[in-house]
Amino acid sequence: MNDDENEFKFNINSNVIIPKEYCSKFQSIFSYIKKKYQIKFSRKSQIDSLLKKCKGKFFKAIHEVMNKSLNINVKRLPQSFITNITIEYNKKYLDKNIIELYQEFNNLPEYKELIENNNIKSNKEKLFKEFCSYSLFNLYDIYCESKRFQKEIKEIKNQEGKRIGLLYEFVSLNFSAYYKYSKPHIFKSKGINGQNEFAQKASKNNNKDKLDIEDSNIINFE
């Protein structure tokens, strides 16, 4: 996939038809959906509110994985991180893996220390290492394929209405792409292959199906 914004195709619900001229930019598609379905202006229909909801739900799922995989109590990521939805701030985290992210906020020992202290549950070691090999960008794709994600979409449509649900579904399906490809600054990704033990295993296309979080029983998506 080319990082050129004009060549990137955003993920759109198959029930929503977007004219070709609107499809090159996230904001254009978002605005078209609002106009087409006559979605009135409200806090719930704004991009920033929807981004915060998406980010919060994603990292809530991540936190559950961490606590179900480890024998130690993992502190939540700071609220200041969860609620910060600026493009500049979030871009720099897309290629990080979970270990790197939690360590940045001093919420987790180094992986080697987790191993030495037997902090990883014995039946989760292989799966947890695989889980930590993904960049956040790829991990979000895995999350979007989960039953948990589909359940969240359904709940929002039931609670907020189908129109807001359509907006949320579009934003949530393209949450990571929004930060990777949106301006204000031109951003050329160096790719997801990092130089550490975990990131070397990450692959945008080939490794995505190696970790089925549902089948791994790390986190319950029911």
Listed in sequence order, the residues at least 6 apart from 213 whose beta carbon sits closer than 8 Å to its beta carbon are 65, 131, 142, 143, 146, 219, 221
DSSP 27-40: HHHHHHHHHHTTPP
pLDDT at 9: 65
Predicted local distance difference test score (pLDDT) of residue 13: 67
Instruction: Say how far apart CA 102 and CA 108 lie, in whole Å.
Output: 6
**Tens of pLDDT, residues 74-103:** 999 999 999 999 999 999 999 999 999 999
Mean pLDDT of 135-161: 94
Q: Are 37 and 163 in contact (CB under 8 A)?
A: yes
Residue pair 212/134 in contact by the 8 Å Cβ criterion? no
User: Does the predicted model carry a pTM greater than 0.95?
Assistant: no
Domain boundaries defined on the chain: 43-216
Return mean pLDDT, the chain: 80
